[in-house]
Amino acid sequence: MMPPERRRYSRMLDTLRPVTTPELIELQLHPAGLLVRSLAWLIDMAVRMGITMALGIPLSLLGKFGGGIMLLVYFLLEWFYPVLFEVLGGGATPGKRSLGLKVLNDNGTPIGWGPSLTRNLLRAADFLPFAYGIGIASMLLHREFRRLGDIVAGTIVVYRDALGGLPVIATAPPLAPEEPLDRMTQRALLAFAERASNLTPARQEELADLVPYLSDPQASQTRGPRGAARLVGLANHLVGRQA
Protein backbone atom coordinates (compact mmCIF):
# COMPACT_ATOMS: atom_id res chain seq x y z
CA MET A 1 0.00 0.00 0.00
CA MET A 2 1.29 3.39 -0.93
CA PRO A 3 1.13 5.95 1.86
CA PRO A 4 -1.61 8.51 1.18
CA GLU A 5 0.99 11.10 0.36
CA ARG A 6 2.41 8.98 -2.43
CA ARG A 7 -1.02 8.34 -3.83
CA ARG A 8 -1.77 12.02 -3.96
CA TYR A 9 1.41 12.71 -5.91
CA SER A 10 1.12 9.71 -8.17
CA ARG A 11 -2.00 11.21 -9.65
CA MET A 12 -0.06 14.24 -10.73
CA LEU A 13 1.83 14.44 -13.98
CA ASP A 14 4.90 15.68 -12.18
CA THR A 15 7.80 13.33 -11.51
CA LEU A 16 8.73 14.97 -8.20
CA ARG A 17 9.47 12.59 -5.37
CA PRO A 18 8.51 14.02 -1.98
CA VAL A 19 10.66 12.97 0.97
CA THR A 20 9.85 13.75 4.57
CA THR A 21 12.88 14.58 6.68
CA PRO A 22 13.22 13.95 10.43
CA GLU A 23 12.44 17.66 10.88
CA LEU A 24 9.00 16.92 9.41
CA ILE A 25 9.38 19.08 6.38
CA GLU A 26 8.96 17.81 2.87
CA LEU A 27 11.90 17.98 0.50
CA GLN A 28 11.22 17.46 -3.18
CA LEU A 29 13.58 15.41 -5.32
CA HIS A 30 13.48 16.00 -9.04
CA PRO A 31 14.60 12.77 -10.78
CA ALA A 32 16.72 13.09 -13.93
CA GLY A 33 15.73 11.21 -17.05
CA LEU A 34 17.44 9.11 -19.66
CA LEU A 35 18.69 11.84 -21.99
CA VAL A 36 20.50 14.03 -19.49
CA ARG A 37 22.00 10.97 -17.79
CA SER A 38 23.25 9.64 -21.13
CA LEU A 39 24.91 13.00 -21.79
CA ALA A 40 26.55 12.87 -18.37
CA TRP A 41 27.77 9.36 -19.18
CA LEU A 42 29.26 10.59 -22.45
CA ILE A 43 31.14 13.36 -20.65
CA ASP A 44 32.46 10.86 -18.11
CA MET A 45 33.48 8.57 -20.94
CA ALA A 46 35.50 11.41 -22.44
CA VAL A 47 37.13 12.13 -19.07
CA ARG A 48 38.02 8.47 -18.64
CA MET A 49 39.48 8.26 -22.12
CA GLY A 50 41.47 11.41 -21.39
CA ILE A 51 42.91 9.86 -18.22
CA THR A 52 43.70 6.63 -20.08
CA MET A 53 45.57 8.47 -22.79
CA ALA A 54 47.37 10.83 -20.42
CA LEU A 55 48.67 7.85 -18.44
CA GLY A 56 48.97 5.42 -21.31
CA ILE A 57 51.54 7.32 -23.33
CA PRO A 58 54.20 7.65 -20.58
CA LEU A 59 53.42 4.16 -19.25
CA SER A 60 53.92 2.60 -22.66
CA LEU A 61 57.57 3.62 -22.36
CA LEU A 62 57.93 1.42 -19.28
CA GLY A 63 57.40 -1.83 -21.15
CA LYS A 64 55.74 -4.73 -19.42
CA PHE A 65 55.80 -3.01 -16.02
CA GLY A 66 53.90 -0.08 -17.50
CA GLY A 67 51.52 -2.54 -19.13
CA GLY A 68 50.73 -3.97 -15.69
CA ILE A 69 50.03 -0.52 -14.27
CA MET A 70 47.89 0.26 -17.30
CA LEU A 71 45.72 -2.79 -16.66
CA LEU A 72 45.27 -1.69 -13.04
CA VAL A 73 44.29 1.78 -14.28
CA TYR A 74 41.74 0.25 -16.67
CA PHE A 75 40.37 -1.80 -13.82
CA LEU A 76 40.02 1.17 -11.47
CA LEU A 77 38.49 3.40 -14.16
CA GLU A 78 35.99 0.75 -15.20
CA TRP A 79 34.66 -0.13 -11.77
CA PHE A 80 35.63 2.55 -9.26
CA TYR A 81 35.74 5.87 -11.14
CA PRO A 82 32.07 6.65 -10.39
CA VAL A 83 32.26 5.31 -6.83
CA LEU A 84 35.12 7.58 -5.81
CA PHE A 85 33.49 10.67 -7.28
CA GLU A 86 30.06 9.87 -5.88
CA VAL A 87 31.23 9.28 -2.33
CA LEU A 88 34.09 11.76 -2.04
CA GLY A 89 33.04 14.35 -4.61
CA GLY A 90 29.61 15.31 -3.30
CA GLY A 91 27.49 12.72 -5.09
CA ALA A 92 28.43 13.48 -8.68
CA THR A 93 30.95 12.38 -11.28
CA PRO A 94 32.42 15.23 -13.38
CA GLY A 95 29.83 14.51 -16.09
CA LYS A 96 26.92 14.65 -13.67
CA ARG A 97 28.28 17.73 -11.94
CA SER A 98 28.60 19.62 -15.20
CA LEU A 99 24.94 18.94 -15.96
CA GLY A 100 23.70 19.75 -12.46
CA LEU A 101 22.91 16.14 -11.51
CA LYS A 102 23.54 14.37 -8.24
CA VAL A 103 23.12 10.84 -6.86
CA LEU A 104 21.17 10.55 -3.60
CA ASN A 105 19.71 7.76 -1.54
CA ASP A 106 15.99 7.58 -2.19
CA ASN A 107 15.32 9.05 1.26
CA GLY A 108 17.10 12.19 0.13
CA THR A 109 20.33 11.70 2.07
CA PRO A 110 23.75 11.82 0.38
CA ILE A 111 25.06 8.51 -0.91
CA GLY A 112 27.63 6.43 1.02
CA TRP A 113 30.08 3.67 0.07
CA GLY A 114 27.66 0.73 0.17
CA PRO A 115 24.93 2.10 -2.12
CA SER A 116 27.47 3.69 -4.45
CA LEU A 117 29.38 0.41 -4.85
CA THR A 118 26.13 -1.48 -5.36
CA ARG A 119 24.82 0.77 -8.10
CA ASN A 120 28.14 0.91 -9.91
CA LEU A 121 29.04 -2.78 -9.75
CA LEU A 122 25.57 -3.60 -11.06
CA ARG A 123 26.32 -1.42 -14.08
CA ALA A 124 27.55 -4.72 -15.56
CA ALA A 125 23.95 -6.01 -15.47
CA ASP A 126 22.49 -2.77 -16.82
CA PHE A 127 24.98 -2.93 -19.67
CA LEU A 128 23.51 -6.23 -20.92
CA PRO A 129 22.84 -7.36 -23.60
CA PHE A 130 24.86 -4.51 -25.12
CA ALA A 131 25.11 -0.71 -24.89
CA TYR A 132 23.14 -0.46 -21.63
CA GLY A 133 20.08 -2.17 -23.16
CA ILE A 134 18.59 -3.33 -19.88
CA GLY A 135 19.50 -0.12 -18.08
CA ILE A 136 17.81 2.02 -20.73
CA ALA A 137 14.68 -0.13 -20.72
CA SER A 138 14.55 0.01 -16.94
CA MET A 139 14.96 3.80 -16.88
CA LEU A 140 12.25 4.30 -19.49
CA LEU A 141 9.82 2.09 -17.59
CA HIS A 142 10.48 3.35 -14.07
CA ARG A 143 8.57 6.40 -12.91
CA GLU A 144 11.69 7.78 -11.29
CA PHE A 145 13.97 6.79 -14.18
CA ARG A 146 16.02 4.28 -12.24
CA ARG A 147 18.19 1.64 -13.80
CA LEU A 148 18.49 -1.78 -12.15
CA GLY A 149 21.56 -0.72 -10.18
CA ASP A 150 19.61 2.21 -8.74
CA ILE A 151 16.69 -0.03 -7.80
CA VAL A 152 18.89 -2.49 -5.91
CA ALA A 153 21.01 0.20 -4.26
CA GLY A 154 17.98 2.36 -3.38
CA THR A 155 19.49 5.40 -5.08
CA ILE A 156 18.11 8.07 -7.35
CA VAL A 157 19.73 10.55 -9.73
CA VAL A 158 18.25 14.02 -9.29
CA TYR A 159 18.63 17.54 -10.57
CA ARG A 160 20.18 19.86 -8.05
CA ASP A 161 20.08 23.57 -8.79
CA ALA A 162 22.68 25.93 -7.48
CA LEU A 163 21.60 28.25 -4.72
CA GLY A 164 20.41 31.55 -6.20
CA GLY A 165 19.73 34.76 -4.36
CA LEU A 166 16.35 35.80 -3.03
CA PRO A 167 13.93 36.72 -5.83
CA VAL A 168 12.56 40.21 -5.95
CA ILE A 169 9.14 41.48 -6.87
CA ALA A 170 9.38 44.78 -8.70
CA THR A 171 8.58 47.62 -6.34
CA ALA A 172 5.42 49.55 -7.13
CA PRO A 173 2.97 51.57 -5.06
CA PRO A 174 0.97 48.92 -3.18
CA LEU A 175 -2.74 48.72 -4.04
CA ALA A 176 -5.29 47.16 -1.72
CA PRO A 177 -7.73 44.83 -3.50
CA GLU A 178 -11.41 45.76 -3.68
CA GLU A 179 -12.43 42.69 -1.75
CA PRO A 180 -10.56 39.90 0.07
CA LEU A 181 -8.76 37.53 -2.29
CA ASP A 182 -8.73 33.77 -1.79
CA ARG A 183 -5.50 31.85 -1.42
CA MET A 184 -5.24 30.56 -4.98
CA THR A 185 -5.71 34.05 -6.34
CA GLN A 186 -3.09 35.45 -3.99
CA ARG A 187 -0.60 32.83 -5.08
CA ALA A 188 -1.33 33.43 -8.76
CA LEU A 189 -0.82 37.18 -8.28
CA LEU A 190 2.49 36.69 -6.48
CA ALA A 191 3.72 34.20 -9.08
CA PHE A 192 2.81 36.64 -11.84
CA ALA A 193 4.59 39.54 -10.16
CA GLU A 194 7.72 37.45 -9.65
CA ARG A 195 7.90 36.47 -13.29
CA ALA A 196 6.73 39.73 -14.78
CA SER A 197 10.27 41.02 -15.26
CA ASN A 198 11.03 38.05 -17.54
CA LEU A 199 8.00 38.67 -19.79
CA THR A 200 7.56 41.14 -22.62
CA PRO A 201 5.16 44.00 -21.81
CA ALA A 202 2.73 42.69 -24.44
CA ARG A 203 2.67 39.25 -22.85
CA GLN A 204 2.22 40.82 -19.40
CA GLU A 205 -0.88 42.67 -20.62
CA GLU A 206 -2.16 39.55 -22.33
CA LEU A 207 -1.94 37.61 -19.07
CA ALA A 208 -3.46 40.47 -17.10
CA ASP A 209 -6.44 40.47 -19.48
CA LEU A 210 -7.28 36.96 -18.30
CA VAL A 211 -8.35 38.36 -14.92
CA PRO A 212 -10.29 41.53 -15.80
CA TYR A 213 -11.93 41.67 -12.36
CA LEU A 214 -8.46 42.23 -10.88
CA SER A 215 -6.60 44.09 -13.60
CA ASP A 216 -9.42 46.30 -14.88
CA PRO A 217 -12.21 46.67 -12.29
CA GLN A 218 -15.25 48.61 -13.47
CA ALA A 219 -16.26 50.05 -10.09
CA SER A 220 -16.24 53.86 -10.33
CA GLN A 221 -14.40 54.54 -7.07
CA THR A 222 -11.37 52.43 -8.12
CA ARG A 223 -8.26 54.50 -8.68
CA GLY A 224 -4.72 53.69 -9.76
CA PRO A 225 -3.22 51.95 -12.77
CA ARG A 226 -4.85 49.29 -14.92
CA GLY A 227 -3.55 46.07 -16.47
CA ALA A 228 -0.29 44.38 -15.49
CA ALA A 229 0.89 47.35 -13.46
CA ARG A 230 -2.21 46.98 -11.29
CA LEU A 231 -1.46 43.29 -10.67
CA VAL A 232 2.10 44.13 -9.59
CA GLY A 233 0.67 46.77 -7.27
CA LEU A 234 -1.68 44.21 -5.74
CA ALA A 235 1.22 41.81 -5.27
CA ASN A 236 3.18 44.54 -3.51
CA HIS A 237 0.26 44.93 -1.15
CA LEU A 238 0.11 41.17 -0.56
CA VAL A 239 3.79 40.85 0.41
CA GLY A 240 3.25 43.70 2.83
CA ARG A 241 5.10 46.64 1.35
CA GLN A 242 4.07 50.03 2.69
CA ALA A 243 3.24 52.96 0.47
Contact residues for another protein, defined by CB under 8 A:
21, 23-25, 27-28, 63-65, 67-72, 74-75, 78-79, 87, 90-91, 108-110, 112-114, 117-118, 121-125, 128, 134, 148, 151-154, 160-161, 163-167, 169, 183, 186-187, 190-191, 193-194, 238-241
Name the minimum Å distance from CB 51 to another protein: 16
68 vs 212 by CB, closer to another protein = 68
32 vs 122 by CB, closer to another protein = 122
Cα distance from N-terminal residue to C-terminal residue, the chain: 53
- Could you give the C-alpha distances from 88 to 20, 111, 157, 206, in angstroms and in order? 25, 10, 16, 50
- Per DSSP (E only), the strands in the chain are 17-20, 26-29, 101-105, 155-159
AA identity, residue 7: R
Of 22, 26, 21, give the one whose Cα is nearest residue 5: 26
Name the minimum Å distance from CB 153 to another protein: 6
Characterize the bridge pairing of strands 155-159 and 101-105: antiparallel
37 vs 160 by CB, closer to another protein = 160
Name the minimum Å distance from CB 220 to another protein: 29
Name the minimum Å distance from CB 114 to another protein: 5
